[in-house]
Structure 1
Amino acid sequence: MKKITLERLLYRKYLKTSFISILFIGLFLISFYFIVNKNVVNKSKELILNNLETFVALMVNNQTKIKTEQFLEYLSSKTFPYDGKILIFDEKGKIEFVDEEIKKLLKINEQDNILKNSNYKINYYFKDIIDEKRIDKIVLENKNYLLFPKKISNSSFYLVCIVDEKNILKEINTLIEYCKNLEYVLITGILIFYLLSFFYISFNAKNFVYKINKPLSKIVAFTKVYGKKDTPLELEPCGIFEIDSLSSNFKKMLEELDNRTKKLIIEETKRAYHESLANTDALTGVYNRRYLYTFSEQYLKIVKRENKNLALLILDLDDFKKINDTFGHEIGDLVIKQLVEIAKNSIRENDLIVRFGGDEFIILLPNTQIEQAKTVALKIIDKIDEYNKDKEFNFTISVGVSSYQKGDETIDNLISRADDALYQAKKLGKNCIV
C-alpha cells in the first residue's frame, strides 16, 4: 500500500472539497445566467409583439369615433412601429387601402381583390384572416413578415399590419449580442474568481494543515528519540480541541510512563541487589555455594544433551589456619581476596568461580577436558608463586581436578571426585595438582 503523510492527505482533501464546491457554484451561476438570459430574450420578444398587437388594436378601436373615410385617411398618414405597413380590405377581399410597399411586396393594385391574387399562398393567408383564424407570419420573397390582423368593429373591413421580422428582431438581436458580451464577462469573472480562490484556499489549506500537523509531527518525532535522549516534550496548544486533548493526554501518558519506569528500575535494582546478595560471597564478590547448585542443575542438562565437556577445579589454601593465627584474620581475608584475583586473571570470561567454603573455592570450566583443566590450575599456581616474591607472607594452594563422566547426575559427583584428588594433593606435600 502506498503511504501518504497526514499533512498531504489533509491538504489534498481540503483543496479537493473546496474546489469542487467552487466549481459547482460556478456551474450553477453560469446555468442560472443562461436560463435567465433565454427567458429575458423570449419575454422581451413576446412583450414587443404584444405591444405592437395592442397598438394595432388601439388604432382600430379609434375608428368607432370617426367616419370610415376619415379613418382611412388617418391610417394612411400614421406611422406604425417598426416601420409597419397596413392593408385594409373588406370581407369579400376588396382592397380599400394598401401601402405602396405592400403593393410591391404582394404585387397588387388598389383595385385588386386580395382573395383573387395569382399567388395561391396569399389567397390562403388572407382567407384565413377573414375566417378569423390566427395567422402570425407570412413568407414573401424568402423573407419573414409578421402579420397583425384586426377586424374593424361595426364594419366589414379588416386591417392587417405587416412588419418585417428583421425590424422587430433588430432590438432583440441587440439584446442577444449584449447578453453574449455579458456571458464572456461573466465567464472571465468566474475564472478570475476561481484562480483567486485557488490561491486563497491553497494558502488557508496550508495554514490549516500545518496547524493540525505541527503538534502531531512533534509527537511522532518525540517517539523516535524517547528513551534515547532526555528531551522534554513541548507542545503548544493549536486551538483545535481534539488535537490539544491528544497532545495533553500524550504528555500525561509520557509522565506516567516515566514515573512507572523509574519505579520499575528501582524495584528491579532492589531485586537484582537482593539476588546478588543471595548468590554472591560478601568478601570476594564471587558466586556462593547456593548459586553453584542452581546454575549446575540447568547446565548439566545441556552437557548431557549436547555431549559437552565440563571440568571442575577445587582450590584449597594450604595451612590457612596458620596464616590467620600468625598474621591475623585481616591478612587471611587479604589472602583469600588475592587468590580470587589471581584465579580471575587466569581463567576465561565464561568460566565460573565459586566460594565453596571458608578457604575452599570451586572453578567450573565449560567445554574443557581434564588435561586442559590441569593446565589452568598450574597457571594459577605459577601466578601465586610469582605473587609470593618479596612478600612478608606467602600462601600456596592445593588443587583437585575432575571432569564430567557419563552417569554423573549432579554436580556433587564431580565435586566428590575432585575432593578425593585434593586429598591426594595434600598427602603429596601440598602446593600441587592431582
Structure 2
Amino acid sequence: MISKCSFLYQPKIQHGKVIGAEALLRIPGVSNIENYISLITNKSLFDYSVIKKVLLERRSYHEYIGMSFPVSINISIQSLESDFFVEKVSKLLVNESDVTFEITENDNYLSLSRVKNAMTKIKSLGVKFSLDDFGKGFSDIEQVLALDFDEIKIDGSLVKNIENNFYNYRHLKYILDELSDIHDFHIVIERVETNKQLDLIESYGKTLSYQGFLFSKPLKIFDLKITGHQDVVEKSMDNKLILEKLVYDLIKNDDTKTCESIINEIHVADEFNNLGSKVSDCLNIPEVKLNLLKKYNKITVSSNSPETRFFKSYLNCTSRLVIIRDSEGNALFNNQAHIDFMQVDLVGLPLNKIYEQFEQYKGCIAIDRNLIESKSNFLAVRESVDFDGKIKSYYTFRQKINHYGKILIITIVYDEDDRDSFPRDALTDCFDRTILNSYYMNNFNMVAFIDMDGFKKINDKFGHKFGDNCLNRLVGYLKNELREEDLIIRYGGDEFLIFTKWNDINVFKSRLELIRNKVERLFKSDGIALSFSFGIDNLAKGIEIAINCADERMYLDKNR
C-alpha cells in the first residue's frame, strides 16, 4: 500500500519565512487518513516505510534544488516500543539531519520506559521529537514532562474562535506561558487561518512558529521554497520562576544543611525581601523554613485583581466543572470536565435547545439572575440534580464580574464532600479560617470553641518550638478521638474550632469532656500541665454568632 502513497508538505513559518515542512500522507481513495492509520496493525513497519519514502523524496529535492530542508514526519508512539522499528530507523538516519518525528498526544503506549529509551537512542542521531495536537481534548502536561520533547505543536482547536472569545484567547496564552515556564520548547501553532488570529497570538510576545492556510496550503515537494532558519530558543528563568523552583526544592528536602543552602539562595532571589528568608541566630533552620513557606503561600494566593481571581479559580479547579455564562444565560465557555459531565459542549447552543435536553438547567439560569440582580458579587448555593430518580447534591460557587460593560457569571461546581481543596494551617495541618466562608460549612449543626489552658506557661518555660509540638500533639489527640467527618479549624494561636453534624449538644459536650480528660492524662504522663476549656453553640443563628456565643461559654468553662 505504501507504494501508492504520496506526500504533500505543509510549510512551517517563523517571522514570515519558511523554515521547514511537515510531510502529510495522502492515500488514493482515503479521505480520513487518521482513521485509516488507526486500523493498521503493524504500525512499526508502516511508519518505517513512510520515513524511508519521505527521506528518499527529500534527497531528490536536494539533488534537484541544490539544498535540503528540515522535515517533520508523523509516527505512532507505539512504533517506539518496537525493537524492529528502532533498529531499522537508526540505520536509516545515520547520514540524515534536520529530521523531526511527530507523535500525536492522544496516542497510547504500554511501556513508558521503552518509549523513553527508544527516544534517547534515536535522539542521539540528531533527530528531534515533537508532540502533535497538544490541547486536543485534554492538555496532558504529565506526558510533556514524562517524555523528552523538543517541540510542542498546539492543536488548532485552541486557536479557533480566539478572535471572537476573550476567554479562548486567554486560555491559549495560559498554555503557552506554562509550556515556556517548564522547558525551552520550540512551539508551533497549528491551523492559523486569519490575520486577526495571527495578530492576537503575536500579542503574546513569544517566539513561535506557525502552520495554517493563512500562510500556505500543503504543497508538492518541488513547489516548496525554504527562505529562513528556525531561531534557537534561549532559555532564561525570570526571578519569579527561580524563586518558585527554589521553594519547590525547599519543600521536598528535609536535610538541614541542604535546606540552609536553599534558604540562602532564596534570600538572594527574593530581591524585595518579601519572605524575610535570611537565616539568623534567633531562628533555627526548620523555623526559618516554616515561616518562609507560610509567607510564600500567603503571597501567592493574595491577589485582588479580578482577572487573577478568575483565572486562579479556573486554573485551580480544572478537574471540577467550570462554566461561564453571560447575563442572558448563554454559555461562553465550559471546561472539558463540564463537557464530559453534560456529554455536550454548551457553547453556541441556544437556551431553548439546552432546556429541551436538560430541564433542570432552567434552575441554574435562575440562580445566575439572582446574583446579577443582587448587590453581591459572590453566591454559594447547594444544588440537587436528579439522575434517573437518584438525587445528587453539589455546591456551586458563582462569581459576578463586569467585563467591558458586560456582566458575566463564572460558576464552579464542587462535589458535596470535597473539602480538601481548602487551605490548611502550615503548623497543625488543620483547616484555616478560609473554609468558614465556604459552602462546606452548611454541613454542620454545632461548633465548639476550644482554648488551651496552661499553654502560655509552657511557651515561657520551654520555648515556642516545644509549644508548637504541644499544639500538634493536641490536634493529633482531637483527630483520633473525633469522627472523620468532624471539622477542626485553627482559629488563632492556641484556639481551635470544632464543627460537628451532631444535633444533641449534650452528646457533643460529653464527648469533648472525655477527650479533655484523656488529653490531660496524656500530657501529665510527660510531666506537662496542659488542658483545654471549651464552649458549644448551635449554628441556627449563623456561624459568626455561634462562634461568639461558644467563645463566651468557653470563658465560663475556663473559670470552672
Name the TM tier (shorter chain): 0.3 to 0.5
The alignment's TM-score, normalised by the length of structure 2, stands at 0.30
More helix by share: 1
Structure ID, larger Rg: 1
